[in-house]
Each structure stands twice: as C-alpha cells, then as structure tokens.
Amino acid sequence: MNTAHSDKTAQLIVIGNGMIGHHLVEQLVERGATERYAITVFGEERHLAYDRVHLSEYFSGRDATSLALSTADYYAEHGIELRLHEAVTAIDRDASEVVTPQGRYRYDRLVLATGSYPFVPPIPGNDRDGCLVYRTLEDLDAIRAAAQNATTGVVVGGGLLGLEAANALRGLDLDTAVVEFAPRLMPMQVDSEGGELLREKIEALGVQVLTGRATQEIVDGEASRHRMVFQDDKVLETDLIVFSAGIRPRDELARDSGLERGERGGVVIDDRCLTSDPSILAIGEVALWQGSIFGLVAPGYQMAKAAAATLVEGDETFRGADMSTKLKLLGVDVGSIGDAHGDRTPGARMFRYLDPLKQQYRKLVVSSDGKRVVGAMLVGDNGVYDTLLQYYANRIELPADPAALILPAGGEGAPTLGPDALPDTATICSCHNVTKGDICATLDAGATDLATVKGDTKASTGCGGCAALLKSVVDHELAARGVEVDQSICEHFAHTRQELYDIVRVEGIKTFGELIEKHGNSEPHKLDSSSAPRLGCDICKPAVASILASFFNEPITDAAHIPLQDTNDTFMANMQKNGTYSVVPRVPGGEITPDKLVVLGQVAEKYGLYTKVTGGQRIDLFGARLEDLPDIWGELLDAGFETGHAYAKSLRTVKSCVGSTWCRYGVQDSVGMAIRLENRYKGLRSPHKLKFAVSGCTRECAEAQSKDVGVIATENGWNLYVCGNGGMRPRHAELFATDLDDDELIRTIDRFLMFYVRTADRLQRTSVWRENLEGGLDYLKEVILDDSLGIGSELEAQMQRVIDAYQCEWANAISDPEKLKRFRSFVNDSRPDPDIIVTEERGQLRPA
Amino acid sequence: MTTAAAKTMTRTWQPLCTRADLVPYSGVAAWVETAEGPAQVAIFYLPGHEQELYALDHHDPFSGANVIARGIVGDLKGRLVVASPIYKQHFRLEDGQCLEDDSVALRTWKASFKGDEVWIEA
Ligand code: SRM
Ligand SMILES: Cc1cc2nc3c(=O)[nH]c(=O)nc-3n(C[C@H](O)[C@H](O)[C@H](O)COP(=O)(O)OP(=O)(O)OC[C@H]3O[C@@H](n4cnc5c(N)ncnc54)[C@H](O)[C@@H]3O)c2cc1C
Ligand code: SF4
Ligand code: FES
C-alpha cells in the first residue's frame, strides 16, 4: 500500500482537481488544515485545475497556463501532494482506501469533487469520428483538430453551453448550426417569447437554428462527413458534431461503493456536505443537495467552504444557492433570475416588455401580493439585471409600480436601486460570496480603491458578472467615507487628470502658467502675495508637464517646463539615496554592439561609476555626481548612445528574445520588432512608465505577458497583449488582438497608448487603469479595434506628432549652455559635495 | 551644527551669486560661509512674488543627502513650500518648517537682490 505522507497525521484525499476541488484546497490552506491533515489530490485530467467557466477563451487565444487556477508550486509549498493524470477507479470503504491504476491509498477523510460529464444522447452513430463534446481542454484540442479539415459544424443542444459551443465553432470559421430538441433555445432559462427573440438574434449572426428536432441517427454524409437524420426524415449534413445536451454527475465511484445517490444520479449530501458515509464528503457538480444538483461555480464554491469547515470543525454549512445567471451568448445578453418562468410560485404575477425593434425582452415575476420579485427573465439587454437581482436576493420591497423596473429608462426613468439601498448582507459577488458588508470592511480597514478591494475580497475575479455593481458600491461607499471619489488632482485644480488633458487638447494650452491661470483653483488658498499666480505643487506640476509633453513633446528642460519636473526629469537621471544620479542609455531591444559595450565600460571606469545589468536588458551606471552628468553624456552621445528615459514616466525598455534570427523555435524577428517599437515610442511621456516586450514564439522568453504592451510572434504575425504589470501587484497581460501584421500591430499600439495617455489617472500603470476601466477589455477593444468612439485616426495622428517631435533630451540639453548651467552642484563654487562618500565593494564603488 | 548658541551669533550680509545663476520658480544650491562654518544653502527664486528669494538648508534631514534645491517648489494651503526630491516631505519656504513632521525644520536665511547680485545674511 502507498501512503503519500507519514502516518502521524490524518490522511485526507480529494478526488477531482476541477474548479471546486481546487477551491476546497485553497479553503483548507486558508484554514490551516494542512497542519492536521496530510492532503493528497487526485486529478484525472493532465492539467492542474483550470477555469472551466472561461474555457471558451482557449479558442480566442488564452492558453492552458493562463487558464490555470493555481500552480504546482502552490501545492508543493503547502505540502499537498498533487497526483495529476491519475484517476481513482474505486473506493474500498471497508479498508478506507482509494484505488488507482498506480496503487492504493489510505484515507481518513475523503472528498468527492469529480464534477460531471457531458451527456451524449443514445443516438446510433454518436461515436463516429468527429462527434465530440465540450467540457475539458482536451475536448477543445480535439475540436480544434477536427475543425482543421471541416467547413461545417453542428451543436446538438441549444442550452447555455450549446450556444457557447456554437460560438466557438463559429470562431473556428465553421458554418454553424444548433439543433435543439425542445421547441425553443435555452428552454431552462427563457420562455417562448424570449426564445423567439434569441433565435432571431442568433440567426442574424449567421448561425442556423433548428428547434424541435430530435436526431434519430447519424450516418455517412454525401457532401459532408456526417449526415444527421431527424424524426421527420429531414437531414442535415455536417463535418463535425459537438454534443451539448446536458451534464450528468460523475458518481460512478459512489455508485460502486454503495453511497446513497439520487434517483437520477448525484451523491446525496447534507448541509455539511457529508455523504451517507460520514467519513466521505462530496462537493460541486457531483453532489446532490435536497434533490438538486447545482451546475454553476458559485454554489460549488459555497459547498467547498462548507466542506472545509466540516473538515476543520468550523460552522459554515451549505444552505442552497441561487441559480440566477447573467450571460452574453454569441454577443446576446441573456439573464435569468429565480423563478423566471413563474411556474414555481403560486399566484405569481408577470409583467412583460417586448421591443421588437431593439430586440429586447424583459419579464418580471412578482409575488401574489405584488411586494417582491420572485423571478425575472431578460433577453437582449441585461442592463437592469443587477437591480432586479438585488430586489430578488435581498427581498427588497417593490416600488408601487413594479413595471417601471423593466420599462425602458427615459421619461420618469426606471427606479434603479442605488448601492445605498442594499443591506450589508446583500451579496455583491456570488462567485466568491462577497457581501456589501465584506466590501465595507475592507474600506474601513484602509482600502481606498477598487483594485485593492478586488485584491482583498476576490470580488469580481470569478465570472466578472458583478463588476459594474461592485464598482458602484465601492464608489458609493468611498464617497460616504469622505474619500474624494471625484478625484480632483490636487488643491490647485478641481479636475481629474483626464479633464486637464481634455482642456489642454481643446484649448491648445502650452504652458502650466496658462493652465493654472485659466483653470486653476484660485480659492480657497490664495497666496499671501495676492498679485502672484499660484505655483501648483509636486502633484499637479509633474502631471501637467506630462500632459503637455504628450501633446507637444517640447524638451522638458525648456525654461517654461523646468520648474514642473521632478528632479529626475530636471537632470535627466535618477536620483539615488545619497543625491547622486544614475545614467542609463537606451539599448533598444537589448541589442548592443561590442564597440558600444566597450564605451560603456570606459565611461564607467573614467567616472567611477558602479555598473550593473538591469532587469530591463540594459546597463545602468550608478553614482554619477550632478556636475559630471554633462561630461558623461557627452561621451556617450559621441559613441552613438541616446537617453534611455530611465528617469521618466515614459517608455522604458522593449525587452526582446533573440527570435528567429538565431533561435530554432523563433517564427518572427522579435529583436527587429522590439527595436522598431522602442525607437517609435521612446520619449512618449505617459501617466506612468511603460514597458514592452517582444517574444519570438510562444515559449515567451521575453516575458511579454507581464508588460504594459506585450507582443508574441505567431506563424501569421503577432499577437498583442496589453495591460500586464510586474512590480508590486503583478498582473498578466490580456490578449488583445491576434495575428496582426507589422503595420496593424503598430497602428493598434499607437491607438492603445494614446487612449491610455488620454484617459488614465496620474501615476496609473496600464494595469490599474484597465482594472478601473468601466466596460473592461471589451470596451477597450471596441474603442481601439472597432473605433467605436470614432477617435482612432485622431489618436494615431497625435502619436505621429509626438514621434515627429522626438529629440534626444540629452543631446538637446548638451548643446545649450543655459541648460548646462543647471548641472552645477553649487552655483558659486566648483568644490564637489563632500558629503557624498563612497566605499569599495566587490571591486566597485557604492555609497558608504 | 545648529545649536541654540549658534543661532544667536551675529549674521552678516554677503554676496552669493548673480541673478543669472538662478532658475526661475526653482532652486539652485550654493556654499555660504556662516559663523558656524561653511553651509550648503538652497536658493529659490520666485519672480513676481512679494518676496522673490528664499534661502534654506540644502541638506535634507530625512535622507541625509544634500538635495533640497532640486525639489519642486509649490504652494499648499496658501503657503509656499518645497518638496524634498527624495522622500517628498514638504518644507515651508518662509520658515523651513516641515509639514509632515512638526519636530523638523530647515534653517533659513534672509536673501535679497542688490542690483543683479544675490546677497545672503549669514
Ligand atoms: C535599475 C533597475 C533594477 C535593476 O538593477 O535591474 C530598476 C531600478 C529602479 N526601479 Fe524598477 N528597476 C528596474 C527594472 C524593473 C522591473 C523589471 C522590468 O522592467 O522588466 C520592474 C517590474 C516590471 C514592471 O514595472 O512591471 C520594476 C518595477 C519597479 C516599480 C514597481 C512598478 C509597479 O507598477 O508596481 C517601481 C516603483 C514605481 O515605478 O513606482 C520601480 C522603481 C525603480 C526606481 C526608479 C526606484 C526609484 O524611484 O529610485 C529604481 C531606480 C534605480 C536608479 O536609480 O536607476 N521599479 N523595475 C531596473 C531598470 C530597468 C531599465 O533598464 O530601465
Ligand atoms: C464551457 C463551459 C462554460 C461554463 N460556464 C459557466 C459559467 O459561466 N458560470 C458558471 O457558474 N458555471 C459555468 N460552467 C460550469 C462550471 O464550469 C462547473 O460548474 C464547475 O466547473 C464544476 O466544478 P467541479 O469541480 O464540480 O467539476 P469539474 O470542474 O468538472 O471538475 C471535476 C474534475 O474531477 C476529475 N475527475 C472526475 N472523476 C475523477 C476520478 N475518478 N479520479 C480523478 N479525477 C476525477 C475530472 O476530470 C475533472 O477534472 C461552465 C462549464 C463549461 C464546460
Ligand atoms: S521566445 Fe521562442 S524564439 Fe524567443 S528565444 Fe524563446 S524559444 Fe526562442
Ligand atoms: S459574481 Fe462572478 S465574479 Fe463576482
């Protein structure tokens, strides 16, 4: 017998490393259960738990790693043994052991988290080649492979997952049809009116919809690989078939070991997630609670919490869960809340609203006394979903005229439910079970922005459905706490950075003086010497300097701009802790000639500079005295270097991998592209620093997915990722566009950068900007890729102006004696600052 | 060294530099001989203001580096200030008081123009 761990602690085995099994592990770790249990997790799939909810994104560019919910390191770090690709084949309850092809493992407590499998209707021919299902990464690999020599695809099943699969087939360039047995699409969620509207919308997208069709058999086709024969002898030919006709619990282990199951499957559990054998628990889609199976993550997560509590003697229990959902299927909003059909509530009354032109359908189901929402159904527009859900979930009393809730806004306007009307117990994020009270608690503990709240509570990091509601609650609560949510930049301007930007743009203002005179706050803190204009401060001055620079790109060392700059920008070098500066010449793409390397060495030696290779693929020379900077730069400029803007809020480096020129895997010239990008955007002043990278293939040696702008070569061009961040709060960049050619890539980056420059807050990296961007990535794509605001060419033109105005700031300063005067440590003495004391370490100088 | 005794020592006016050495709305550093020995001063120049010249310690007590002249000059709540370029504390130009820490103040000196020359009382 194998025991994974020592016998001293109790053995806990988890079968299934899916979404819920993994959530259980996280819960156990959080509750310190690793102290008392030696935990072993078995997963049948090859992959570590991944985000099945976003599985379809696997087709739109996300890979297995980015879908992963965790890492092997996480498991190892917490001493949890993870046995992937090892399915449990039996449970021997007498011996308290589980059996796998590799061995037997003893358990004290056992958790079943085996999920479910896609149901394939028993149609003759359903096992033909090219008849597939849609549940796992491997399923999607199989679909992708089959789609390669296919032109048509059919999805059997017009439910939620079926439509998602249909969208995926469409994305694989197949002519797609959906075949549904019921008389309408999504029979569980919508009624016949809603279903009809949904059909119209989906057909408009070019997907054929066949309802009321039962497939009798699948045989060889004539024009295509398969022929589906329906009950009325009508036929449909297709190359590929995906079955999505519902799911069934994977309860075979429970069945064989005699655990109690429901009539139609599912392992029976109680409120503590215990099965009929109290040493065994079940959670997730395999579990049957009070006769129901919950096919969504949120209830599964709640079961995982309850199970973790049961295992460590906590007191949470599973109390059932709400199955309300909000989705965008094939771009069509569909929402379903509570008793959407109104057939489970005696005396329920219904309000309906149908707009055939806008193709919107809304149905509100209220209790017989007209006081509460018991259900709702939305097709075509989910705008009122959040409000209705809150009425429903928190049993909030309805207004006198409930119909107003689903009537279009305008006129009187629908009474929306402000965040203040929600009780503290209101669930804001159901995926992570975060209430308004939880959010208030993090704000009381000091959080002052949305990103922090998300980080602390995990709210809105699951399906993302709650993002808008979360933001409104956070904004509202911040305002209630007296935190300025309107974000005036400082006491000198009652404007946000974005507003200042627009003022500069519209009025063509070129100096800080003009801006503060026209738009500054003259009250309430007038200067004593009342005739003098206000000066601004260390918040607004650099912010405005950056805005002006991103328009006119005049040298920042010009007299009008100098008083605005942080010392780093004034002296075009980073100030160190002892008052000396660092020198970082640009090394585009990290490519450097031996000659230039020699010069760097010579200059460093001559001026006694500490030399280090940076994390940005270039070389930093530290410890330069202010008065030496012009001489040092003089020599570097002579050797062909230019400023690296290491001191500026602007483009830092474009990291590259060696790419197709040398690497056996490279599919494009990543170094060439990196250099092109670095030279194009160098000198663009932005709200915060910008980092790029370009990788030559998906091995991603340049780590592009951690950058503000990441580019990864594909066989056909470039994939563009945006809004990544290393640093304090790492964030993976998101795939923004695929297979761009060189010019498309540059045009897209032009627009993206300028839109960021235009709309971000001061010192807001692209990642934080993106987190706070209302409408999220979809909105960003609309603006940049679809030009929904009609500003695309304006953004490009503005970028071109900045690029045309570029000049190396150091070259500019060095040719101007007025500017050079500033690089004296003391205006009346050439003695160096005697307080700068250095000592030697590992053969170089450093501050003493 | 700042000591109570030193403060009472007599100060005398002396020339420091010229108007052309200054950077409008910003600072420069200079050496000055005081009764307590040589000191580094930061001179800020605000053309058009009632008081156009301010002189403070160039030494930043928080970082220990001599950098105050390289900070951003501004006004907060109606008072003129300079922000240390290292850890960003604000010091009032008129009396050197640090806004973030009551117990810290920079020394200040009187400075004024004589023609195009900058003089300081030290
Ligand atoms: C020199 C270098 C470290 C090194 O020895 O490798 C460095 C040094 C500094 N970094 Fe960095 N960072 C350096 C690469 C990075 C990287 C790695 C990279 O770029 O691939 C990161 C993480 C990636 C990222 O930014 O997403 C990084 C994340 C930061 C952060 C955190 C930013 C964030 O969004 O969380 C700061 C603080 C800030 O910017 O507010 C920072 C700030 C700084 C400052 C400017 C701190 C300061 O204000 O004095 C350091 C200045 C050193 C100097 O005087 O020159 N540095 N810094 C690297 C210079 C790269 C270059 O060639 O320009
Ligand atoms: C395409 C798609 C879209 C979805 N969209 C949404 C959505 O928008 N919102 C939502 O709430 N839900 C959605 N779902 C449903 C959601 O993914 C599931 O509710 C959730 O994954 C259930 O988690 P689970 O851990 O119970 O099961 P699973 O995630 O299926 O995990 C079970 C794991 O156990 C493994 N396993 C099974 N038997 C054994 C064994 N004997 N030994 C070892 N391992 C075993 C399986 O291989 C599997 O990896 C979607 C599902 C799909 C497929
Ligand atoms: S990312 Fe690809 S092309 Fe670039 S070095 Fe790595 S393996 Fe080679
Ligand atoms: S409800 Fe899914 S992330 Fe919040």
Among the ranges A91-105, A401-415, A770-784, which has the highest mean pLDDT value?
A91-105
B6 pLDDT band, cuts 50/70/90, is very low
Q: Are A296 and A19 in contact (CB under 8 A)?
A: no
Name which of B24, B31, B48 is nearest A831 (Cβ-Cβ).
Answer: B31
Q: Rounded to the nearest whole angstrom, what is the distance from the C-alpha of residue A163 to the centroid of ligand 2?
A: 18
Q: Using CB atoms, which residue from B21, B67, B88 is nearest to A579?
A: B67
Residues A139 and A87 in one domain: no
Question: Is the complex ipTM more than 0.85?
Answer: no
For range A515-529, the mean pLDDT: 75
Per-residue model confidence (pLDDT) at position B5 = 41
Min distance A415 CA to chain B CA atoms (Å):
42
pLDDT at A352 over 60: yes
CATH number of the domain at A732, please: 3.30.413.10
Give the pLDDT of residue B2: 42
Ligand 3 atom with minimal separation from the A664 CA:
8
Lowest pLDDT segment from A167-176, A516-525, A567-576: A516-525
Give the pLDDT band (50/70/90) at residue B4: very low
Q: Is the CB of A156 under 6 A from ligand 2?
A: no
pLDDT bucket at A416, cuts 50 / 70 / 90? low
Handedness of CA A672, A676, A682, A685 (dihedral sign): negative
Residue A197 lies in a domain: yes
pLDDT digits (tens, 9 = 90+) for A795-815: 999 999 999 999 999 999 998
Least confident of A104-108, A235-239, B33-37: B33-37
Over residues A421-447, the mean pLDDT reads 86
Distance A130 CA to ligand 2 centre (A): 23
Q: What is the band of A822 on the pLDDT scale with cuts at 50, 70, 90?
A: confident
Taking an 8 Å cut-off on Cβ atoms, the answer to whether B46 and A532 are in contact is yes
Does A663 belong to an annotated binding site?
A: yes
Report pLDDT digits (tens) over A535-590.
899 989 999 998 898 888 888 888 888 889 888 888 999 988 888 999 999 999 99
- What domains can you pick out in chain B, each with its CATH number? 18-121 (2.102.10.10)
Q: Which domain holds residue A462?
A: 418-485
pLDDT at B35: 79
Looking at residue A400, what is its pLDDT?
80
Interaxial angle between packed helices A742-759 and A670-681, expressed in degrees from 0 to 180 and rounded to the nearest 10: 40
Q: Whose CA is nearest to atom 12 of ligand 2?
A: A296
Q: Is the CB of A657 under 6 A from ligand 3?
A: yes
pLDDT at A326: 83
Closest ligand relative to A702 C-alpha: 3
Which residue puts its alpha carbon closest to atom 8 of ligand 2? Answer: A53
Residues of B in contact with A516 (CB under 8 A): none
Task: Label residue A523 by pLDDT band (50, 70, 90).
Answer: low
User: What's the pLDDT score for residue A438?
Assistant: 93
pLDDT digits (tens, 9 = 90+) for A16-70: 999 999 999 999 999 999 999 999 999 999 999 999 998 988 988 788 888 999 9
How many other β-carbons are positioned within 10 Å of the β-carbon of residue A218?
23
DSSP A627: G
| A350 domain-assigned | no
Q: Specify the CATH number for the domain of residue A273.
A: 3.50.50.60
pLDDT surpassing 90 at residue A471: no
Neighbours of A621 (CB within 10 A): 23
A203 within a domain of the structure (yes/no):
yes
A217 located within any domain: yes
The residue ranking higher by pLDDT, B56 or A525, is: B56
Q: What is the nearest CA distance from B75 to chain A, expressed in angstroms? A: 6
* Per-position DSSP letters for A171-216, written without gaps between them: HTT-EEEEE-SSSSSSTTT--HHHHHHHHHHHHHTT-EEE-S--EE
Give the residue from A136, A137, A98, A132 showing the smallest Cα distance to A12.
Answer: A98
**B40 to chain A, minimum CA–CA distance in Å?**
8
Residue A270: exposed, middle, or buried by beta-carbon count in 10 A (0-12, 13-18, 19+)? middle
Residue A112: what pLDDT?
Answer: 98
Tokens of A6: 């020592």
Enumerate the residues of chain B whose CB falls inside 8 A of the CB of residue A821: 21
Using a CB–CB cut-off of 8 Å, the residues of A that contact B are 491, 525-529, 531-538, 541-542, 559, 562-568, 570-571, 575, 577-579, 821-822, 824-829, 831, 833, 835
Q: Is A762 in the pocket of ligand 1 (CB under 6 A)?
A: no
A574 inside domain: no
For residue A704, the CA-to-ligand 3 centroid distance in Å is 11
Whose atoms come closest to the Cα of A673: which ligand? 3
Q: Is A806 exposed, middle or buried (0-12, 13-18, 19+ CB in 10 A)?
A: middle
For A311-341, what is the HEC assignment?
HCCCCCCCCCCCCCEEEEECCEEEEEEECCC
SS3 sequence of A662-692: CCCCCCCCHHHHHHHHHHHHCCCECCCCEEE
The whole-number average pLDDT for the span A413-432 is: 72
% of chain A with per-residue pLDDT over 90: 59
Instruction: Calculate ∠ Cα B25-B27-B28, nearest 5°.
Output: 140
Tell whether A660 and A728 lie within a shared domain. Answer: yes
Answer yes or no: do A683 and A795 share one domain: yes
More confident residue, B44 or A501: B44
> Considering CB atoms only, which of A537, A565, A568 is closest to B75?
A537
Alpha carbons within 13 angstroms on the beta-carbon side of residue B91 total: 31
In this structure, which amino acid lies at residue B2? T
**Residue where a domain stops, chosen among A546, A565, A584:** A565
Ligand 2 neighbourhood includes A300 CB (under 6 angstroms): yes
- Report the percentage of chain B scoring pLDDT > 90: 66
Angstrom distance (rounded) from CA A656 to CA A734 = 19
Q: Judging by DSSP bridges, how do beta strands A175-179 and A152-156 pair with one another?
A: parallel
What is the domain count for chain A? 5
Three-class DSSP category at A156: strand
Position B1 confidence tier, pLDDT thresholds 50, 70, 90: very low
Is the domain of A106 the same as that of A164?
no
Contact B49 A559 (CB under 8 A): no
In a domain, A622, yes or no: no
A669 and A797 in a common domain: yes
Q: Is A537 part of any known ligand binding site?
A: no
Cβ contacts of B25 within 8 Å, gap of 6 or more: A535, A562, A563, B45, B46, B47, B73
Instruction: Determine the pLDDT at residue A528.
Output: 61
Kindly give the pairing relationship between strand A226-230 and strand A235-238. antiparallel
In angstroms, the CA A232 to CA A353 distance is: 35
* Contact list, A578 vs chain B (CB under 8 Å): 63-65
Across chain A, mean pLDDT equals: 90
Choose which residue among A337, A458, A466 to substitute to test ligand 4 binding: the one with the highest number of ligand atoms within 8 A of its C-beta. A466
Return d(Cα B103, Cα B114) in angstroms, integer: 35
**Beta-ladder partners of A376:** A337, A364
Q: Name the pLDDT band for A671 (thresholds 50, 70, 90).
A: very high
Ligand 1 center from residue A691 Cα (angstroms) = 10
Q: Among A293, A311, A329, which residue terminates a domain?
A: A311
Mutate to test the interface with B, among A525, A530, A535, A831 (most CBs of B within 10 A): A535
Taking only the tens place, the pLDDT of each residue in A181-192 is 999 998 888 888
Q: Looking at the predicted structure, is the pLDDT value of residue A398 above 90?
A: no
A621-645 per-position pLDDT tens digit: 999 999 999 999 999 999 999 999 9
pLDDT tens-digit map of A709-753: 999 999 999 999 999 999 877 889 999 999 999 999 999 999 999
In this structure, the strands spanning A103-106 and A97-100 are antiparallel
Does some domain include residue A365?
Answer: no
- pLDDT score of A486: 54
Query: By the 8 A CB rule, do A242 and A155 touch?
Result: yes
**pLDDT digit string (tens) for B57-99?**
999 998 889 999 999 999 988 889 999 998 888 999 999 999 9
Mean model confidence pLDDT for chain B: 88
Does some domain include residue A229? Answer: yes
HSE-up of B37 (CA within 13 Å, CB side)?
3
Of A542, A827, A835, the CB nearest to B21: A827
In this structure, the answer to whether residues A97 and A15 fall within a common structural domain is: yes
A283 and A423 both lie in a single domain:
no
* Confidence at residue A412, expressed as pLDDT on a 0 to 100 scale: 39
Residues A108, A133 share a domain: no
Last residue of a domain, one of A485, A506, A522: A485
Going B72 to B73 to B74 to B77, the CA torsion angle's sign is positive
- Residues A147 and A49 occupy one common structural domain: no
The enclosing domain of A436 has a CATH number of: 1.10.10.1100
pLDDT of residue A274 exceeding 80, the answer is yes
Using only the alpha carbons of chain A, give its radius of gyration.
31
Helix (H) or strand (E) holding A594: helix A594-607
Our CA-based measurement puts residue A576 at a distance from the nearest CA of chain B, in whole angstroms, of 8
What pLDDT was estimated at residue A721? 97
**Ligand 1 pocket residue status of A576, Cβ below 6 Å:** yes
Measured in Å, residue A467 CA sits from the centre of ligand 4 at 7
Identify the weakest region by mean pLDDT among A535-539, A608-612, A790-794, A829-833. Answer: A829-833
Residues A656 and A790 in one domain: yes
Is the CB of A518 within 6 Å of ligand 3?
Answer: no
Given a cut of 70, is residue A6 above it in pLDDT?
no
Helix-helix angle A450-457:A436-444, to 10 degrees: 110
Query: At residue A417, does pLDDT exceed 70?
Result: no
Given ligand 2 and candidates A53, A292, A461, which is best to mutate, with the most ligand atoms within 8 Å of its CB? A53
Which band of pLDDT confidence, cut at 50, 70 and 90, is reported for residue A834? confident
Contact A828 B17 (CB under 8 A): yes
Of residues A351 and B10, the one with the higher pLDDT is A351
pLDDT at A522: 65
A442 and A549 share one domain: no
The answer on A510 and A433 residing in a single domain is no
> Which amino acid, A577?
K
User: pTM, whole model, 2 decimals?
Assistant: 0.55
Q: Which residues of chain B have a Cβ shorter than 8 Å from any chain A Cβ?
A: 16-17, 21-26, 28-31, 40, 43, 46, 48-51, 59, 63-67, 70-78, 80-81, 83, 85-86, 88, 90
**Residue A714 CB–ligand 3 contact under 6 Å:** no
Q: Mean pLDDT over residues A242-269, rounded?
A: 95
